[in-house]
A and B are shown apart, each in its own frame.
Chain A
């Protein structure tokens, strides 16, 4: 028997063990996400991928696909809520997109385009966050971290190094670095590590590569994140 789920009226096949987002991606259905990346243990923290499964809100990145699921992904309510959650991420940190090296290549920004976000809506927190420019090749700007945990997972699971961790509680969450000084330069990170390249925002940047592609010619300047994510993430699934 073939296993299927239904997303917004469309019948989609799934394999045992797949999450909803994996089945959706394979079928070419985009569900917004930031903390999910194929090949990484699901985290379920950003909450952008919330879909409604048989009347209940669930994170598509962690929830297993199962026979008989009736899933709503595109609805006014969900798009509204996802937009508000994205706005929360913007006001929580200090995101000065026009002056950020990552602009146009940034997934946070691209998700905001996708969700039609035109302002930040909520009052800014303007937190005091540091920049760690100590490493010769890699820049860590805490102002732009959204606690997606991808660098943490990349370093632990792919690089086997445990360079990063998320510490603190509530709104005081912050990213910490595993080294005697707490600085990146004294950690085990290397420019070729997955952790150095996985960040969906401009929080972790490779030095001396900025502006090699001019603004206006960057990924999301021309393509929506739904198209880009589906192409990249389907390739990964194959």
Chain B
């Protein structure tokens, strides 16, 4: 084991900041992080053993106990559920003879749920040893089972099992005007970097990761920080269930994304950049490395770029299954080899980010757009869209529609138009911006895609009238409780309380007081949480409570109080111990 770890450490240059990459390698080799490895790593990296354990226990993809040589994770996103995920996981469990959440007796397979695989347009999906297997059905499962029993490595499986489609259904301003490699860098250098930043300003480009901060302002603020080092980080964590447009951009247009990062590096004076790639997109890494290599060979990356004396390079860092790492300061912590816990602000990343140096963190699509703006100019971009939302937005559309996939629309487009074009019928509502966004009902389809109205990181999940609101809210509420980092009290405890209270109501044990309590608790979690996760975790409850109060009321019992647990059931153990089951051994809790 020491030899193996030595190799891994050497590759990571003994940098504790690369702890996630090191642990990923160990996990892949041994299907868990053995206790012996922890002790050795602590010693070799000269960090406390507790720091390594804290990282292992924070990320979903790391384990202290062995997983199967085939580690199967099934996406538990609402879209996968709508596509029959329950059926799929039960069938897998039967065929492979392993219970969900467990390891098979021979150690061959482990089967678990995972929050979201980022292929919501091609569900039900699985990750097997980190590789995506979309569109699962019984036939495919039989095929997979055979391969597993033959112990065939996943990398050698027939490609039809592993192919993830781009599904680009509609192109707009950006996807119709792809730039050629290097053109934005030459254009910027010819025009001059300060003028390029002015163009970016005039374009009105706002961050595509959700919050919508002006990109030019962010770059300018970072450039103005006095420091020996600056960093560029591309946020490719894309953990919001229902969002997969960054996956497609990286799969097919990574060169333009890297170009945007390089442009940013020129502007702020950075020599190092990172692509923080969500762990679920491991399969893209090889291809991305190749593109980086090509850019180096073409003089667009590395030393003395375009012979202009600029040095800049990009490293790809993989996440390990934690939605919170999409939050920019949690992402930076993760890049530093720590649990993804959001930092206190101020200071903001533009002044103290990676290693406390000025850092720009932008979404994949933001860099992709910035590169195009550098070539075509600010006015080209600003002519499209609305007053406060310039340009276009790339959307990930999934759920109940004929053609799920990627769509690009100008800002200002009514939701109704988008739904018509993706073939959504008998719409009940749309979840815009993923679980952290808003649920709009079919009465609101004339609302518009724009920061002024419905801002979004890009996820549209369509629900038709056969769907139950409570199934949706339940999935989202459980998601947030599972993904809360646990740092601050209102979110750590609050998201779990919300989940329990919501389940109580949905399971028919709620009374009027429970809905009041649910709403108060939702507001508390929203107002008091430390970061965006907690501040939006109650949105599914709040936005549906507002639109469907009568649905919640119908779930309630007509009594003033309903206890949270079943007293009679709790006495079952006592009855068995006392060998009694007469009527006096039962208790009625509440008179109806």
Contact = CB atoms under 8 A, between A and B. Distances in A.
Interface of A: 42, 44-48, 50, 57, 59, 62-64, 81, 84-85, 88-89, 91-92, 122-123, 125, 146-147, 162, 164-173, 176-178, 180
B53 A81 contact: no
B530 A165 contact: no
Interface stretch (B43-51, B169-177, B432-440): B43-51
A50 B322 CA distance: 27
A165 B495 CA distance: 23
A16 to B, nearest CB: 14
A34 B399 CA distance: 45
B36 to A, nearest CB: 11
A3 to B, nearest CB: 17
B528 interface: yes
Contact of B57 (A57, A62, A122, A168): A168
B368 interface: no
Interface stretch (B72-80, B299-307, B480-488): B480-488
A147 B492 CA distance: 11
A45 B489 contact: yes
A85 B527 CA distance: 12
A99 B91 CA distance: 51
Contact of A170 (B48, B484, B529): B484
B489 A46 contact: yes
A170 B495 contact: yes
Interface string B491-510: 01111110010000000000
Interface string B21-65: 000000000000000000100000000111101100111000000
8 contacts: A45-B488, A46-B488, A59-B344, A64-B346, A88-B497, A165-B51, A167-B54, A180-B39
A45 B50 CA distance: 20
A125 B486 CA distance: 15
B158 interface: no
Given A85-B528, A88-B494, A165-B48, A47 B54 contact: no
B483 A88 contact: no
Contacts of A125: 496
A170 B485 contact: yes
A173 B346 CA distance: 25
B347 to A, nearest CB: 9
Given A45-B487, A176-B50, A91 B493 contact: yes
B54 A44 contact: no
A63 B345 CA distance: 7
Given A62-B344, A170-B486, A88 B50 contact: no
B423 interface: no
A84 B48 contact: no
B496 to A, nearest CB: 5
B564 interface: yes
Contacts of B487: 45
Among B49, B495, B529, B564, residue most surrounded by chain A Cβ atoms (within 10 Å): B49
Given A88-B493, A170-B496, A164 B50 contact: yes
A-B pairs with the 7 shortest C-beta distances?
A165-B50, A88-B493, A62-B344, A162-B48, A173-B486, A167-B54, A170-B484
Contacts of B58: 167-169
Nearest to A187: B50
B490 A44 contact: no
Interface in B302-329: 322
A47 B496 contact: no
Contacts of A178: 48-50
